[in-house]
Structure 1
Amino acid sequence: MAAELTTRATALIAERRGSSYPSYPVDSSTVHAAAAAFTAGPAFPPLFARANRVAHGWLFGEPRSGGTGDHWVVDLAPMLNDSSMQQVLSGYHVTVPATLEVPLTVSPPQPVHQGQLRRLAVWGRGSVSAPRPRVRAARC
């Protein structure tokens, strides 16, 4: 997760700087150190849990029209807005956008679709009529 945050933060810095400072490289080790400190700190678990709930809701929830549809994404903006990340980003005069949706990797040829595992989420709750296995008594 720290590597992904480093990649996204570095991209935001590069985007902000544009061609203004082409010879002045971004110190990715500083960005990575901030991301690693953030992911090891107390602010990370609740934000990661929130992102995880969104991802699981997309996969196991009822398919919805509109929104991200078949695009399985997670918003990293709340993580990049943490004070440890902001300290580094503000040094580059970067403002994190309100949302920064990052697609989760899905390998073709079998892409995952929104709500694809919905039946598994509701199995056993009585809302899906799944055939029950027959159990036979063993003969001695």
Structure 2
Amino acid sequence: MDNPNTKQQKFIHEWALSGKSLYTLANELNVNVLDLMGWADEFEEEIRTLKAQEYDRIQTENQMTKLKQYNYYASLYTRLKSELDKRDFSGLPTDKLYFILNDTLKQAHLIKSMDLADFTDSDDLYDDWLDEEKDDY
């Protein structure tokens, strides 16, 4: 027979992170639903702490994903603008390059507008590039 403390720890972890119902957890742990309700009250603080930690982890992961996207578009924009600045416009097909440049800038604006707070602590190379380039096109 399983140790009751092990079942309690598994309940705390599963209840906080999995989103499973008490009935599902009761079947998985072979414990009465009423016991789980008691454990939910008894370990409310631990469950709340685990939920907060998971929320913070997900939020940080999403923030890093947005920051990586932002940095990618910043780098792409810089490379495209550099290439465009080299062009002499004497018969070279630059219209596609302008469209790509414009689309890249729009995408960077979209990502940055998702949550400006995500970019305030950034120390990357492209920290202010969007603000400097906004009047160019």
Considering fraction of residues, name the structure with more strand. 1
Give the number of the structure whose alpha-carbon radius of gyration is greater.
Answer: 2
Considering fraction of residues, name the structure with more helix. 2
Q: Give the TM-score of the pair, scaled to structure 2.
A: 0.25
